Structure formats: C-alpha cells, structure tokens
Amino acid sequence: MEERKLKKWEKSIEILFERAPQLKKLISNPVYYMNAPWGGELNRHFLKSIGGSTGEDFYRVVFKQGSPKSLMTICSGELSGLNTTSVVEKGQIVAAAGLERIDVPVASNFLPMLLTMGMYGAIQNRLEYISNVCADIRNRQIVGDHAKLKRISEVILDCFESIPEMDQDMIRLNLSRMVNNTDECLELLIIMREELDRESQTKPVPHRTFNGVSVEVQGPNWGKSNYDPIEFLRQIMRHNVFAAYERFVAGKICQIVLSGNYSPSNIERSKQSVIRVKDTIYRVFEGRIKAHKEGVKEYERLILQHQNGYGMGNWTIEDLEKVHSRQIETIADIEVQLNGLLDAKLESFDFLSQLANKDEIEVYIINGEIVINEKEAPALLNQQKLSS
C-alpha cells in the first residue's frame, strides 16, 4: 500500500521535533502547525511580560472550558525542563516548579487569535470538505450557475485557509466577507431548490412505484410519455442544489470559526438554519421514496396471497421474494446517498460542539512557531493501555 504523503504542516512538526526531541513528550498529539508573522509578535509579548530570551523559552497556553477568551496559564521553561509542565492540570497550576502565573489583559488581541488558531487547528483535519469544496466545481462543468458557485467556493476556501495568517483586524474583515458570501449562497440555494421542485413536478408520482417498471405521464394534447422512477430519482440527486447546500454548510462553519463564538446557542442556531434548508430539499424526494415503499408493501401483499394459495399468473414465490428484496435494497441505497448529501454535513456542527466542550484547548508557542495539540480522551487512553 502506498505510504500517505505528509502535509506541509506535518513536515514542519517533524522538523521542529528534530530540533527539540524533548517536545515529543509534551506535544503527544499535534494536529496543526503554523509559523504566522504574528506568532513572533506573540512570542516577544510573552518574553517582555515574564522575562527570558529567544531560543530558551517556550509557552503553553491553556484555555479552560467556559472561559474561551481568558488566558488561564502560561508555562515557561527551558527545553531541557519540559517535564515540569506535567504539573498543569485542567488549566490550573497545581505546583509551582518551573511555572509562573502571568496576568495578561483579556482585551489583548492575541487571546482571541490564539483561540481561533486552536479551534482551527483542531478542526481543519476533520472538515476536509471545506478545503476540498472547490474540487467538483473545477473538475466538472455546472450549467447556469457555475460562475456563482465557483466564486462562493473560492471565498470560503480563501477565508478558511488564510486563518493562520490573519491578525485580529483581518479576522473581522473576513468574518464580514464570509457572512455576505453565505447569505448570497443561501439565496442561490433557494432558487436552485425551487428549480429542483419544478423539475420533479414534471414527472408526477403515482401511489406506488417499482424497480424497472416505467411510470406513464400524461402530456399535452393527449400525448403520453414514460419515465423510470429510480433513474429519475438518481438524476435529480445530481442537481446543483446539493453543491450549493454543501457550500452553505461550509460557510456557516467558517463563520463560527472566524467569530470565535463557540457557545452552544450559537452553534445550535447555525445548525438549525442549515436543518431548515435541508428539510426543504428532502421534501422534494420524500414522496418518491414513499411511493417506492408502497411498492414494497404491494410485493408483500402478493407474497402473502401466493402463500395462501392464490395464483399470481406467471409469478413464482421466488420471483416475488427476489423483486421484493431488490426493491428494499434500492430504497436503502437512495436513503444512504441522500443522507450523505444532506444529513452527514450536520456532523460538522456536532464536532464543533464536542470540541468547544473539551476541558482544555492547548496552544504551544516555541520561538514564534505555534503548535496545536489535541489531548486524547481518557477513555481512549485507557483502551490503549489495555491493548498494550
């Protein structure tokens, strides 16, 4: 199997650990690295506050749950004395060896920036669709609204990937930019959803539909046409409304990260706005899925009649059971695909909530280089100990 290619930030972590191997004991699960220009300013700010010299000191910033904008502790010590940081628990100093409590004004621009970096580092590996959101736009042509979707995608990508380089003023500017971009995406999404609904209405849905059985449609001037109910379902599942929906979710997630507001009410409010849109899209498919489920019930009725001795023409019990099973599989496949297109995107909000509820967010500053470390859950650690 081909070895996974390291990302740029992963290579930077390796170089950092080669320079200071002792850091591996402290930063056991790095999830992001950045060397933004403002990191050096932050390092000089701490050196000025507590004393020390470049090349000798490092800092561990712990944001305790419930106080995301407050700097709880700063741990300082020479690289040779990294084990002294083990006396910091739950964001509180429990022993004084090698540590010094520093009072930094909460209004300092560095603190919101550090929190934003911490959350960005923790989520950027899990929300890969944000970084890859432009791929399908670039790889396939989207008729009509291609340019609008591409521009919306590029704004999301630019804002998200530029976070490590932003100072506080730039974060505020890009937050405003992202809000406007997401609002425009919603307007486009609503138009596309209405187009999807109109396209669906051109193929009326009977009470029951079956795999491989065409549905007859009455056309103008007494003309008639036929369509395959499942092929049509799969066709409208490729509608551009899903591309717009994905970008709407990505925009909402970026807004939360840029705002630094990880309160449960803010995350839930953003999630509910997405759910409302999701439900309007799903309703277009709901009647067609229901009709296919009615087809399952019809096969079950025929199977029962066959078992009771009533002849079903050329149908055998085996034939009926086979088409019944295939019909169920088709419905399950459609629902799985729809879930991937709609409901699965909501997991991003759930992950943000879990991340915001962590006891600590760890940000390490080493000579202006910033490393985000994700602490493993106690349950996972216990599981690893048992398996070792």
Q: Is 270 exposed, middle or buried (0-12, 13-18, 19+ CB in 10 A)?
A: buried
pTM beyond cutoff 0.85:
no
Total length of the chain: 388
Determine the residue type at 59: Y
pLDDT of residue 124: 61
Give the DSSP per-residue string, 45-111. Answer: HHHHHH---TTTEEEEEEEETT-TTS--EEEEEEGGGGGGGGGEETTEES--TT-------TT-THH
Give the other-Cβ count within 10 Å of 101's Cβ. 11
pLDDT of residue 113: 57
SS3 of residue 36 by DSSP = coil
Each of the 388 residues of the chain gets a pLDDT tens digit; together they read 456 677 777 788 888 888 878 778 778 888 777 676 555 656 665 555 555 544 445 666 655 554 433 333 333 333 233 222 323 333 333 332 222 333 443 334 455 555 566 666 656 655 565 555 555 545 545 555 677 888 888 888 888 778 777 777 888 899 999 999 999 999 999 999 999 999 999 999 999 999 999 999 887 777 789 999 999 999 999 998 998 998 999 899 889 888 878 788 899 999 999 999 999 999 999 999 999 999 999 999 999 988 887 766 788 889 999 999 999 999 999 999 999 999 988 888 887 777 666 656 677 777 767 777 776 644 333 433 444 4
Helices of type H across the chain: 8-19, 23-26, 37-50, 110-123, 128-131, 135-139, 146-161, 168-201, 229-236, 241-259, 264-307, 317-341, 347-356, 378-387
Phi then psi dihedrals of residue 312, to 5 deg: -115, 40
Q: What is the pLDDT of residue 139?
A: 55
Task: Name the token pair of 71.
Answer: 């700097």
User: Token pair of 300, please?
Assistant: 């079950």
Structure tokens at 214: 């065409």
CA distances, 243 to each of 106, 116, 138, 295 (Å):
40, 27, 12, 31
Q: Which two structure tokens, joined as six digits, stand for 287?
A: 């009647």
The SS3 call for residue 262 is coil
Cβ-based neighbours of 123, under 8 Å, separated by 6 or more: 253, 257, 351, 352, 355
Task: Determine the Cα–Cα distance for residues 279 and 362; give it in Å rounded to an integer.
Answer: 37
| Cα distance between residue 274 and residue 171, in whole Å | 23
At 210 the pLDDT is: 96
